[in-house]
């Protein structure tokens, strides 16, 4: 009988758990302090939740957990490719907090097979996904399989493109965590959504994390004093310059390839589009695929651009994108460029576009520094040569920072 009561209570508890509305909870906690979010997470999940610690400034999570006065678990992925400084930092953190980090290692047989067949640095040749899958994603999946919830140090300001919408509590496990993962992480209860992710510092800016770490005298990874902002595996992480976004220190060789639309690639796509036209559908397709269509962007003709090149005819600064409508990288930046143009409307800075493919390409290459699509140029009022935007970041804030630095 007593057992039946216990079982019944257990079922009720499970039912209560199932009925938690995490969207509502996320809303409730959206403006709460990291400490409060951490406290709720630890209170709710006890020993079935753990902090994912990368060895960087997410040590703040451990400090917040300590401040709650509750017991907590910490796990870390030891990929075997971390910097020596990170290993020393792990040790310092364990001693400082009197904890044992639960290290997750890649499967030895899998790593062995991978390295024997592809070498130690294959990611420079064919991308980081395969290595990350073996050394990070699978160990992470194993770690999460023993949990019902986890706590990460993801912040909205880390990557405006992909992390801008991070809530403090997430019930669906479709995550990025600095790597390519498939969206099928499961907790110990099994099934998609069986794992709740808590992001207590989602709304905190990087500088405030650092103020917190300094105030609380928390040990930090010595790589930070060498210019590292984001910290990961040694071969795939590098320091960034002041003002550079932290994400630019990760997998930089791939970013170049992925974000740059080489003229050669563009030519292939262009040929495809023209072929479509010769089949009878082309004209409609090409017209329809013109991009950057808003009144805030002036559609420049060749004489218009030639006028801009003459300093005496420039009455205001201009920002001009050299584009090809078939280029998927131009299409990819369309939303941000249109938003930028609308924000600049009435500020005295003109925004224009110049279609620089087909017969305009030789001119654009010779006179407008075109190497790949899209190319963004700033024509200042008092300098004769346009200044090329050389970063691959094409979000509104980065482009505004470029303009503000030159206007």
Q: Residues in the site for ligand SF4, rule: CB under 6 A?
A: 79, 81, 123, 128, 131-132, 135-136, 232-233, 235-236
User: Given 131, 132, 233, 330, which residue is catalytic?
Assistant: 330
Residue closest to ligand SF4 (Cβ):
233
Least CB distance to ligand SF4 at residue 128 (A): 4
231/324 with CB nearer ligand SF4: 231
Residue with tokens 């009925």: 19
Instruction: Quote the least distance from Cβ 53 to ligand SF4, whole Å.
Output: 16
**Degrees (nearest 5) of the Cα angle 64, 70, 74?**
65
CA distances from 242 to 21, 174, 226, 228 (A): 42, 32, 12, 10
Q: Least distance (Å) from ligand SF4 to the CB of residue 243?
A: 24
Residue closer to ligand SF4, measured from CB, 193 or 235: 235
User: Looking at beta carbons only, is 86 or 194 nearer to ligand SF4?
Assistant: 86
Helix%, strand%, coil% for the chain, nearest 5: 50, 10, 40
Q: How far is the CB of 233 from ligand SF4 (least distance, A)?
A: 3
Q: Where are the alpha helices (DSSP H) in 146-226?
A: 160-163, 206-215
Closest CB to ligand SF4 among 136 and 361? 136
The residues, ordered by sequence, that sit 6+ positions from 291 with a Cβ below 8 Å of its Cβ are 323, 325, 330, 331, 334
Query: Does 374 sit behind a cis peptide bond, omega within 30 degrees of 0 on the bond before it?
Result: yes
As given in the structure block, the two tokens for residue 309 are 């090149």
Picking from 287, 326, 322, 329, the residue whose alpha carbon sits closest to that of residue 305 is 322
Closer residue to ligand SF4, CB minimum distance, 138 or 163: 138
Phi-psi region of 89 (alpha: psi -120 to 50; beta: other; left: phi over 0): alpha
- Minimum distance of ligand SF4 from residue 244's CB (angstroms): 19
- Pick the closer one to ligand SF4 by CB: 79 or 199: 79
For ligand SF4, which is the closer residue by CB, 46 or 235? 235
Question: Alpha helix (H) ranges present in 314-383?
Answer: 328-332, 334-344, 361-367
Question: Least distance to ligand SF4 from the beta carbon of 311, Å?
Answer: 47
233 is catalytic: no
Cβ atoms < 10 Å from Cβ of 57: 22
Per DSSP, the residues of 90-133 read HHHHHHHHT---EEE---HHHHHHHHHHH-TTTHHHH-SHHHHI
What is the nearest approach in angstroms of ligand SF4 to the Cβ of residue 236? Answer: 3
What is the β-pairing status of strands 298-299 and 318-323? unpaired
For residue 313, what are the CA distances in angstroms to 27, 317, 353, 379?
53, 11, 18, 11
DSSP single-letter state for residue 81: -
Question: What residues are annotated to the active site?
Answer: 327, 330
């Amino acid at each position: 009988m007593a057992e039946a009561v216990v079982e019944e209570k257990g079922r009720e508890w499970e039912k209560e758990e199932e009925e938690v509305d995490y969207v509502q909870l996320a809303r409730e906690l959206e403006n709460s302090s990291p400490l409060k979010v951490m406290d709720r997470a630890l209170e709710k999940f006890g020993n079935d939740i753990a902090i994912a610690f990368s060895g960087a400034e997410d040590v703040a999570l451990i400090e917040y957990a300590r401040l709650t006065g509750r017991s907590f678990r910490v796990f870390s992925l030891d990929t075997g490719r971390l910097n020596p400084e990170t290993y020393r930092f792990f040790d310092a953190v364990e001693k400082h907090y009197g904890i044992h980090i639960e290290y997750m290692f890649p499967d030895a047989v899998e790593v062995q097979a991978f390295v024997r067949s592809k070498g130690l640095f294959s990611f420079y040749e064919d991308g980081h996904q395969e290595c990350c899958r073996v050394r990070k994603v699978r160990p992470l999946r194993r770690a999460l399989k023993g949990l019902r919830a986890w706590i990460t140090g993801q912040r909205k300001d880390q990557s405006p493109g992909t992390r801008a919408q991070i809530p403090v509590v997430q019930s669906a496990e479709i995550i990025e965590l600095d790597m390519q993962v498939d969206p099928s992480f499961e907790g110990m209860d099994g099934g998609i959504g069986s794992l709740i992710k808590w992001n207590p510092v989602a709304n905190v800016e990087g500088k405030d994390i650092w103020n917190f770490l300094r105030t609380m005298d928390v040990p930090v990874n010595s790589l930070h004093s060498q210019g590292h902002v984001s910290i990961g595996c040694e071969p795939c992480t590098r320091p960034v310059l002041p003002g550079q976004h932290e994400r630019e220190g990760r997998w930089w060789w791939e970013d170049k390839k992925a974000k740059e639309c080489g003229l050669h690639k563009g030519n292939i796509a262009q040929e495809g589009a023209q072929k479509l036209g010769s089949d009878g559908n082309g004209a409609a397709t090409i017209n329809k695929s013109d991009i950057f269509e808003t009144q805030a962007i002036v559609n420049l003709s060749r004489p218009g651009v030639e006028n801009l090149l003459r300093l005496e005819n420039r009455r205001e600064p201009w920002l001009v994108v050299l584009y090809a409508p078939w280029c998927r990288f131009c299409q990819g930046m369309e939303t941000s460029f249109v938003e930028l143009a609308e924000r600049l409307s009435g500020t005295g800075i003109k925004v224009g576009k110049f279609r620089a493919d087909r017969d305009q390409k030789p001119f654009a290459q010779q006179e407008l520094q075109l190497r790949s699509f899209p190319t963004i140029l700033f024509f200042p009022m008092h300098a004769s040569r346009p200044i090329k935007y050389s970063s691959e970041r094409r979000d509104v804030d980065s482009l505004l920072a470029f303009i503000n630095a030159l206007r």
